[in-house]
Copies of this chain bind each other. A is one copy, B any other.
Amino acid sequence: MNPQAHPQDPVDAIVEQWAAVRPDLDTSAMEVFGRIFRLSRAMGDRMEKAYAPLGLSRGEFDVLATLRRAGEPYTLSPRELSATLMLTTGGMTGRLDKLERAGLLRRSPDPHDRRGLRVTLTEQGLDLVDRAVGSGLAVEREALSALNAQQADQLADLLRELLRSTER
């Protein structure tokens, strides 16, 4: 009946526990989302550790990376940053304060809107994020090496499909 005698990962174990105490429940969706939650947490911790030697938290890296991805002149407004990173303006103010103090970016007045600011990567910030993105990707590649190329593509495609339907 049950194709696997013993649980193969922590989510299998949880599903089996539920089956024992609440056999009426349909826990099939947990097989996907339970694993997504755990993978997100585990990989998030690893990314944190990957950036730590460079003196960056993951949230700080995200700010620098968003500016880097924007291309020259590496400038965005606090509003654009907080929208992209799904962060309140309060949280963004804190991150920018810290990164500005560390000399990784600078805030300057927006010439076209006296309410607004422009946040720009410094030379130092550009160097640092270019090193950080490499070590972050290395950690992700290492974890993904558990799958072969075809499996990885298939996984990415299925996740895209799921993400597209949920972010709407």
The contact of A40 among B18, B37, B86, B134, by CB within 8 Å, is: B37
C-alpha gap A166/B32 in the complex (Å): 16
Q: Interface SS of chain A: helix, strand, loop or mixed?
A: helix
Q: Are A130 and B22 in contact (CB under 8 A)?
A: yes
Q: Does A5 contact B (CB under 8 A)?
A: no
Q: Are B160 and A158 in contact (CB under 8 A)?
A: no
**A interface residues, tally (CB under 8 Å):** 61
CB-CB contacts of A111-154 with B at 8 A, as 1s and 0s? 00000000000000000001001100100110110110001101
**A: which residues have CB within 8 A of B?**
8-12, 14, 17-18, 20-22, 25-33, 35-44, 46, 68-71, 86, 130, 133-134, 137, 140-141, 143-144, 146-147, 151-152, 154-156, 158-167
9 CB contacts below 8 A, A to B, read A9-B160, A17-B71, A18-B69, A21-B68, A29-B137, A32-B152, A33-B144, A35-B160, A35-B162
